[in-house]
Structure 1
Amino acid sequence: MTEGEAFRYRRLQQRLARHKRGSTNRHKTITAMGRIMSRVTDRRGEFCAQAAAHPAQMNALIALEDLRIKNMPASAAGTLNEPGRRVAQKRGPNQDFGVVGWYPVHDDPSGGKPWE
């Protein structure tokens, strides 16, 4: 999500909180929020398709590692008394794992788009 989209989405959430349930304006706000998230979802899917297509075209065989991506952000966690190990090195990759969403690559490593 770009900075502009995040800002607009936050503003729409605030506006949504003020609307009366069932109103037409509330429905318009929900629709606008859906458009933003739809663009983000499409962008993520396109990235995964492109990222998977290149290795699939260049190699005859692709091996996928079964990583527990859900647990990776927790590996850098810790407490104030006992901080995690190598936290600074894990911070960047852990943020990227959560944003990109690699599960479409695992589902279709050939890079084909699910809608085709």
Structure 2
Amino acid sequence: MTPNYKSWYLGILLDIRKKDLETQRELLSMLSDLARQTGTENALKAAKSPMAKYLRKLSMVWTKNRSKLRSFRVSAEIDGENTILTAAKTCDRLLQQDFEPILNKGISREQGWVRVRGRQ
């Protein structure tokens, strides 16, 4: 299996922007040296293209937002208290009321997901 140098270079190039100017120059020099040593100059050049950076960043944002769509929050407050114990009790209730019927084939996974999300 051949490493995907373009993707690897791109990840580093995106991270470099967060560094100070001296570190940026040093890392860019190291990447150029590595590209020469490994014969991957074309992959480095492709990774430096503005479109490659844009597409990679867009992909990362898309992935992050897709995971947010599937997440939810449930209040762990019970009788005016919001502690680790009430959070554990809330988890127990969710598992008992929404996960147990899935295991017992009483409802589908999708129906259970709709029920648990409805508790927000």
TM-score bracket, shorter-length normalisation: under 0.3
Rg larger for? 2
TM-score by length of 1: 0.27
TM-score by length of 2: 0.26
Greater RCO between the two (CA within 8 Å, min separation 6)?
1
